[in-house]
Structure 1
């Protein structure tokens, strides 16, 4: 078994609803799905949602399995638990995506 295979198996542990993750409803392109996600509510992380120089960069940062997020690409319009957001930066690595959402201004 390769290291990549071992890491892929470990993702289920991180995104287990009884361990670290929480259930959230994600609507992309009219398709609603339930995903397991880890919302980063750490105060230090909230500060990193501001780009260097204090420019605003986002409202919500979460982690999810990349496979659960098909269609959640930068600048896409989505709904997170029924609230409209625009997808900001998406960083993918080893099957995990870090997604920054910015509040939808004026609706869809």
Structure 2
């Protein structure tokens, strides 16, 4: 088995609903993803000098989600209107940070 094959196999563990992942409605489609707001806090510290980078970070299989969303793209996550703050692709998975515009 190649290294890439092993990484792909590991995605099935990371995105297993019996282990880490959960079903969430993303743009009206039920997708298996892993929400990781601890990772969001760490990224905010390292990459954004402690400034809040968004409100929700989740991982989802690229094959399940489709085309990587661009910054500012609207996303409805579990019925909540949000916007893509950042989206990265790595080894068949997207890491997507969402933020929510709030009127004031």
TM-score between the two structures when normalised by the length of structure 1 = 0.78
CA RMSD of aligned residues (A): 2.0
For 1:2 and 1:47, the matched residues in 2 are separated by 31
CA drift of 1:47 comes to 5.5
2:64 alignment partner, SS class: helix
Q: Per residue, is there more helix in 1 or in 2?
A: 2
Q: How is 1:10-29 mapped onto 2 (pairs within 5 angstroms)?
A: 10-27=10-27
1:21: Cα distance to partner? 0.4
Runs of 4+, deviation exceeding 3 Å: 47-50
Question: What is the count of residue pairs matched by the alignment?
Answer: 100
Q: Distance in 2 between matches of 1:46 and 1:15?
A: 21
Alignment match, 1:82 = 79
Residue 6 of structure 2 corresponds to 6
Shift of residue 67, structure 1, vs aligned partner: 1.7
Unaligned runs of 5+ in 2: none
What aligned pairs does 1:11-90 form with structure 2 within 5 A after superposition? 11-27=11-27, 32-42=28-38, 45-46=40-41, 48-49=43-44, 51-52=48-49, 54-71=50-67, 72-90=69-87
